[in-house]
Amino acid sequence: MSEISHWRTKGRYYRLLGSKCEECGGEYFPPVRVCPKCGSRRIADKEMPKRGKILVHTVLYSPLSGFEDQVPMILAFVELENGVRVFSQITDAKPEEVKDGDEVEMVFRRVRVLGRDGQILYGYKFKKV
């Protein structure tokens, strides 16, 4: 993702902004333009709940490029209070402290630092409640 496209869509990453179908009420993240349930194009922005639970998680011990300083990295599918599922990093915990079913809440954290200029990208992660 380029720096420009990140800044154009930062609200989606900073506020966990998804979408809601005005016809059937379906909620989605990431946002959609057409409702997958009913096919409607009457879609509105919808801020997602900030709390949920870990459905399943894994721990990466081999760093992804650009994330070497975040190993071990805990990644999880989180089911939000409205049933929407998001994939996210779990932060502020050691791998042995994280269990499937744990309650979590969204937090705003540094995601990574880009290139030689050191531009810092922030976004959502989840931490245990």
For residue 102, what are its two tokens?
């744990």
- pTM for the model stands at 0.84
Query: Looking at the domain covering 49-129, what would its CATH class be?
Result: mainly beta
Identity of the amino acid at 91: T
| Domain spans in the chain, listed from the N-terminal domain onward | 1-48, 49-129
Q: Provide the b/e sequence for 98-115 (b: ≥16 CB within 10 Å).
A: beeebebebeeeebbeee
Strand order in the sheet with 27-28: 27-28, 17-21, 43-47
Q: What is the pLDDT of residue 120?
A: 83
- The confidence band for 1, taking pLDDT boundaries of 50, 70 and 90, is very low
DSSP H helices, 1-129, are 3-8, 10-14
